[in-house]
């Protein structure tokens, strides 16, 4: 099935919101959204000094630029990222890396809204203007927050400007079956 042109009003539906949908079964269709006008130019942040050779600086942002960050990390091509199939990550198509809080310079945090659901320990923080999920904030005052996430500030790798996702190893996590009682809407 190829792309079809639709005459008149239409609406797009995020198929990731369908219950038990397996995106892995979809055929990848060529589409070059970068040809659409006006061309999107990612927001930029302040310049930072060069890092040592084993560390890279990644700059990222939400879509509108109200939230920006610099991530200091080992090269993501070497450490890989995490794709979770839980109810929220699969809907948002999030890809996560888990740096320590000190390795993320987050700017515009006042523009983030945090969505907590289920056990309330994990909070997906997204820009309240453009809706892009940027980081994950854990509430360690809640006993369901993972202890392994103390001092971590997970970053959605899809918000890194200019990253080649094809060059990054994607590790899969089965968050959908992590707890005995799955999250239901």
In a domain, 104, yes or no: yes
The CATH number of the domain holding residue 150 is 2.170.150.70
Greatest mean pLDDT among 14-23, 39-48, 113-122, 160-169: 160-169
Report the domain count for the chain: 1
In a domain, 10, yes or no: no
In a domain, 151, yes or no: yes
In a domain, 72, yes or no: yes
pLDDT band at 109 (very low <50, low <70, confident <90, very high): very high
Which carries the bigger pLDDT value, residue 10 or residue 164?
A: 164
In a domain, 94, yes or no: yes
pTM, entire model: 0.73
In a domain, 35, yes or no: no
By mean pLDDT, which of 3-7, 88-92, 135-139, 179-183 is the weakest? 179-183
* Kind and range of the H or E run holding 92: helix 87-92
Parent domain of 87: 57-173
In a domain, 110, yes or no: yes
pLDDT, one tens digit per residue, over 127-152 is 999 999 999 887 656 565 566 667 88
In a domain, 166, yes or no: yes
> Is the distance from CB of 131 to CB of 184 less than 8 angstroms?
no
pLDDT at 93 over 90: no
Q: Is 83 exposed, middle or buried (0-12, 13-18, 19+ CB in 10 A)?
A: middle
Task: Write down the pLDDT at residue 46.
Answer: 45
1 CB-near residues (< 8 Å, 6+ apart): 27
Question: Nearest CA to 139 among 157, 114, 159?
Answer: 114
């Amino acid at each position: 099935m190829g792309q079809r042109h639709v005459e008149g009003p239409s609406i797009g539906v995020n198929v990731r919101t369908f219950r038990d949908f397996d995106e892995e079964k979809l055929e990848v269709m060529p589409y070059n959204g970068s040809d659409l006008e006006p061309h999107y130019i990612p927001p930029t942040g302040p310049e930072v000094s060069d890092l040592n050779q084993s560390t890279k600086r990644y700059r990222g942002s939400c879509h509108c630029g109200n939230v920006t960050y610099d991530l200091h990390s080992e090269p993501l091509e070497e450490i890989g990222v995490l794709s979770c199939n839980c109810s929220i990550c699969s809907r948002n198509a999030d890809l996560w890396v888990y740096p320590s809080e000190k390795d993320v310079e987050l700017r515009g945090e006042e523009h983030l809204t945090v969505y907590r659901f289920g056990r309330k320990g994990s909070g997906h923080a997204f820009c309240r203007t453009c809706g892009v999920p940027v980081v994950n904030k854990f509430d360690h005052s809640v006993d369901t927050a993972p202890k392994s996430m103390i001092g971590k500030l997970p970053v959605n790798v899809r918000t890194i400007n200019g990253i080649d996702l094809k060059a990054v190893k994607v590790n899969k996590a089965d968050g959908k079956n992590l707890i005995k009682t799955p999250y239901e809407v």
